[in-house]
A and B are shown apart, each in its own frame.
Chain A
């Protein structure tokens, strides 16, 4: 008996003593994975590579339009980002545009991790050409990420090795635009230096189909980088990125692209699906084989639902009209004879843009009949009052944006269905898209040859190569049937025409928001936008009245040229870079004005 008790006591003590055993409580194997395992399997490494472009600035919509002078959001009176943008002067903490600082650096770290560790790859079931393509991707996305950082912040931290977990960040240096631009171009050159084999699925190609990175887009990035770095906002005295340098790089880019069968899209629409070649291009379905569309350099495969999200209230299933084109944009469309409507040097006589300063040379424009005889791109981009609803049988239904019309201008502050400015977006919208026939709308292009032409024209104009500037602007104009620019313009006059051309050609293509910044003209463009209230008199005549949306609070302030860094990041770096430990002695990374 006694033995049994002793055994019990012993057993009990054992239970108490057991924890000293080292394996105790060790969790079962679980899904927590050590990063070093990534080099052991093909699937792992390829998954890692697949993440490095996640933060790329790839747009499948046009989110910036209502944050610049292209449009006024229909959500301007209800709690929304736009309402804040129009009414609040932001500070670094409240600024609402997503700069991507965190997400991009997260990708940059992965890229650095990949490039410095890929020699550890221990699996063999991968072809050398695919491994090389992984490198291309890493360099390519690194360039694209830095371009985005340069564009938004005007500065970046360039690193090629990951920081240690115990890093103090006391010696980290910011790079300026020139340095970043050099790095971007060298990274792109590394990517372009890779061998190209048109038959392999793993090489960096000229023509990989829609929505995939390609050599053409690498050239676009190089050209854009040079043009941005030369633009007034980014250029600093002594930088090698002069307009002349940008001109050369852009020239080379266009040579490369045209040598690889890139051409402006010039197919006329069939069966009245569109007004002209321009809007037809924007509603066309994906042409992966590039049999007809040789203009798109980086396209989208996913299409927009314009009729739902940016639609007309008469379309069944419309949720919102989204954003409403401004009168300022409408005023940019020349008359069909190639004369601007307003004096481009000073388009408006008052601050609020209510009194237009008409171009005295224009004979076709009639303020009582403002939508007649305009640039064909106007009809393909905007639904205006009395615009035909359908291109087939255009007289059957008209879009009435006058007060009380079938798509009448909105009087109710919270309604999202009707326009706020008197206009709706037509670009990308195929008129037959609706609930019954389904979505047949078009897509935003991230890069197309016309942009390269106008980029080149701008660089050429600025660098004094006016002939090239004329030629390439005219190429874009000719495609839509607009006459050539008049000969003999001065550099200043030509610059205004090219900028206006950009604004018209690339409406709702995400370029304007960046353009007004790099040209440093936000003080003239960003504070005031107007709409057109049209009333129908008893005799059936329309009365046109421009009206203002009030001031977009302080949006012309120079601080809005660049995005702010998060206040926290700035405070941390002040502390980290301070030799004394006192933040006031550290380096201030914040952009001016924030």
Chain B
């Protein structure tokens, strides 16, 4: 242990020694001037020019010009620009006057360097499946978290925004690379930023990156490539690289965004009070209960302007004006339509041969989420949702002498966020979650949520105090909140929380050039530290609720205790992680032979602590990853790639701690063969295949699952450990081809198959509970089996037709389908007719992870349960009590069954409908098919682009409390209209759902009515941009001025039963993904 620290220290001192010892070679200065143009003679802006010895670099100006000095004895320069083949030009030629360099377009991007976390490789040389997106595309997404910018953009990276809670970040997004990889938990890919791992819990900080800071986002999909990262690679890897300073004059970018963010896509609107009351009464009548609202009350609630013509039409309208018979839309009253978002970004980058730097600064402000109700007694501002974010990131690359260079990165973030009161312990998110529910369940018939001016109780003035009406059950406990639910009270009397979050990241690396040992060898040693702290200050005010005894709002009585004590609490947490790492890289071309190799090692510790928590969970996580990757290419045509990972973590027992993960890949670039060379039709063709083993090092929710854990405070029997625990291994095969037609139409396809033979599962299949150890404490074992396969396809077209017009379009789709082969499931008896028979022998084994079990409707032969017009087939609903009595089936285990409830199939044939009649539905909650399409064009100075993203072959169970309708005072939306009633059935009306109820009924068992098809297609992103003419921008001393109008989540096409449910969340009562409009201004000086 200690020895290693000493060695590290010694190396750092050693590196310092080099600086002084560095020899200075005498300089020969050559000045190069000229232009870089494309095939059409357009200037290429931002092309990178690098000298042979890599010491001198330059980035071309907007007019394509370059003007720089070569001082490192180089013989040639290399010009690179994405979408163009690399161009090598001899310096002597330029000096001879051939200083206009024309670049050829490269539709396949075969020369582009692809980031592979610890090294970069030319795309042409890859033998695995890697996809990526570059900075420019990310910038068209208006976002305050970087993740949104690449959601849906990268081939093979699936995502769903499960919850758009304003206080949630990465944790609310479901990420998957090639679906699921194991039957156990933790499926999210590993996230790396500049080669350093970013964890989920501190990941929220990295979301403040401006997309402009980011160089690329890469997704590594195949097991053989992921083998290099050992226990981190099993779920695939997302690698983000940030931009660094380049040689050249200082380049200043200023960007300003102003956006509007809101759940605008089908924003929820409460029904009118009359409609609500009618549905409430309908539920009562269906249950044979007395209606909640009397005829007289219905007449009062009736408003002809809203409720249309009906039998109550002749009633005297005593609507909302008098406040007694209101029709409130509390959602609309309390939730702002849009949250504003302002973002100012400033970046300066540049440098000389010896020092390059880049500094980024960002300030972001988000506006309030709620309409703050007026309340005279409030002497503080809450503005939940309003927040200020500051982000500073700078990096410095410095060349100390001809073989040592050093790079430093420093990033800092600071956030001040306001939230609702009484949410210490970092639970701001929970209170937002509550709030969105509360504004939805506050029924429109509730007179008002606060007492009007002059209201008295026991001679005391209680004006503007929170109330709830007597005929309401809002005092009930929902969602564990345990107190009266009144959004007005929460926004005026509920106190507030302010969160202060800070985060610092720094890393330092020393790069060594070992050319003198052998050309092409380099090394790096480095250290990184990340640390962050959160502090929440929570101020709560306890308040009293008043009941309005009668709807005329004149008499009140206090409900519950009254106390005016103010609560004040603090909560803070802290986390840090550090890594030290080193690598050796070797790259050299010997004639036709090319060799590239990297060997790397990394030690990491991570710790976090919630003050007040404190358990063994806060012990630092330790892991080490070592890897070796070597590539050999002959004439860039035949490729052989070998990988060996070696990794371990403290989550595994000492004698079983480190594991090898090998991988091998082969590639053949057919188009470089003589028989295809120069062919104008098939301009590129590569076949590739790989086989490897990646590992999953975290899959148990426990730490140290190999150890026993007795709760030492009570000495109760705790968890038992499995002393032979090992990582889960994903053995994956991957085969693919990349081809280009006419140098503009790219096609890429991969198929993959993964098998896991040591999945971590509960080993309690046959362990009874009477032995005394709780089964959840019984040790699991690596005995499960899992399989996953799929494919990825993409087509990409990009062509510059004329000087002024470029068009591009692309589409891709990726598919995965997994099967849980072995999870220790006991087979069920399928001897139909016997009382303990099940409909299926297995419910998990042989099915996908996340499968859904439910009942099957008793649909007559040849019919479907849903008719073509979307209504429910009347044959699957009981139409009368008589029909229920005569059906011959016992529904008593399902709860109440009434006319208007579903008929289920008795699959087991025992005459009873119960959970044993459930079957596994076709699709699971894990999406199988994803697709995206993007297209755009550039015409003169205009650029238009759009991104579509969709998912299919997956189901969402949506039968939550909101779906059922009877929640609290009743929650009714478009789900509950036109449901079955005897009258509607008799009239042959359109029937949307089973009869409404005041309690749970047999219809609420899982069935295809409350499991939705989650298929959707979204216009995820669109942008229209205009770049000002050069003359104009020059007048403003700017090089480049671009104005863009951007939109996110603009249109959704889906199959959800309610327009208020977004298919990504699949639930009501959560924050649905937001639509964002944004105006972006970008100026480069």
Contacts and interface: CB of A to CB of B under 8 A. Distances in A.
Interface of A: 1, 4-5, 7-9, 11-12, 14-16, 18-19, 21-28, 30-35, 37-38, 44-45, 47-48, 50-51, 77-79, 83-84, 87-91, 93-94, 101-102, 105-110, 112-113, 157, 162-163, 165, 167-169, 316-317, 319, 411-416, 435, 553-554, 566, 569, 571-573, 575-576, 583-584
B69 to A, nearest CB: 29
Interface string B272-296: 0000000000001001011010000
A15 B4 contact: yes
B650 A109 contact: no
B826 A33 contact: no
B541 to A, nearest CB: 21
A413 B601 contact: no
A27 B770 contact: no
Nearest to B969: A414
B289 A7 contact: no
Contact of B717 (A18, A35, A416): A35
Interface residues of B, number: 83
B619 A576 contact: no
B297 interface: no
Contacts of A105: 769-772
Nearest to B649: A25
A5 B21 CA distance: 13
A399 B720 CA distance: 58
B710 A38 contact: yes
Interface in B912-962: 914-915
B950 to A, nearest CB: 37
A413 B998 contact: yes
A79 to B, nearest CB: 5
A9 B582 CA distance: 11
A16 B779 CA distance: 33
A34 B723 CA distance: 13
Contacts, number: 202
Contact of B709 (A32, A51, A84, A89): A32
B768 interface: yes
Nearest to A156: B770
A560 to B, nearest CB: 13
Contact of A575 (B1, B560, B620, B766): B766
B7 A15 contact: yes
Contact of B619 (A14, A27, A101): A27
Contact of B716 (A51, A89, A93, A435): A51
B769 A566 contact: yes
A91 B893 contact: yes
B623 interface: yes
Given A38-B715, A79-B1000, A94 B893 contact: yes
Interface stretch (B10-18, B346-354, B797-805): B10-18
Given A50-B714, A583-B826, 16 more contacts: A5-B517, A11-B7, A11-B10, A15-B582, A30-B616, A32-B709, A44-B715, A51-B715, A77-B999, A89-B893, A102-B774, A163-B771, A554-B892, A566-B769, A573-B768, A576-B768
25 contacts: A5-B514, A11-B10, A14-B4, A15-B4, A15-B582, A16-B626, A19-B624, A25-B650, A27-B620, A27-B704, A28-B619, A31-B616, A32-B708, A33-B711, A34-B708, A44-B715, A88-B894, A89-B890, A106-B773, A109-B771, A169-B768, A414-B998, A415-B473, A576-B766, A576-B768
A37 to B, nearest CB: 8
A162 B720 CA distance: 14
Nearest to A14: B7
A72 B236 CA distance: 57
Interface string B585-625: 00000000000000101000000000000011001101110
A509 B533 CA distance: 53
Nearest to A44: B715
A4 B401 CA distance: 15
Contacts of B999: 77-79, 83
Contact of B657 (A25, A107, A416, A554): A25
B772 A109 contact: yes
B561 interface: yes
User: Which 4 residue pairs spanning A and B have beta carbons closest together?
Assistant: A109-B772, A89-B892, A48-B715, A31-B616
Contacts of B914: 91, 94
A171 B468 CA distance: 62
Given A31-B712, A32-B709, A19 B768 contact: no
B639 to A, nearest CB: 26
A32 B707 contact: yes
A413 B284 contact: yes
A7 B649 CA distance: 28
Contacts of A112: 772
Count chain A CB atoms within 10 A of each CB in B1, B584, B649, B770 and give the residue with the most.
B770
Nearest to B715: A48
B846 interface: no
Determine which residue in A33, A45, A110, A414 has the highest number of CB atoms from chain B within 10 A of its CB, and name it.
Answer: A414
Given A51-B715, A569-B769, A30 B704 contact: yes
A418 B772 CA distance: 44
Nearest to A553: B892
A316 B774 CA distance: 44
A25 B648 contact: yes
A435 B558 CA distance: 11
A170 B291 CA distance: 58
Contacts of A11: 7, 10-11, 14
B364 interface: no
B854 to A, nearest CB: 16
A372 B998 CA distance: 39
Interface string B708-732: 1111111111001000000000000
Contacts of B654: 22, 26
Given A25-B623, A91-B893, A411-B290, A19 B710 contact: no
Contact of A77 (B21, B289, B601, B770): B289
Contacts of A51: 714-716
Interface in B482-538: 512, 514, 516-517, 523, 525
B310 to A, nearest CB: 25
B711 to A, nearest CB: 8
Nearest to A78: B999
Nearest to A157: B770
Contacts of B1: 21, 23-24
A79 B615 CA distance: 38
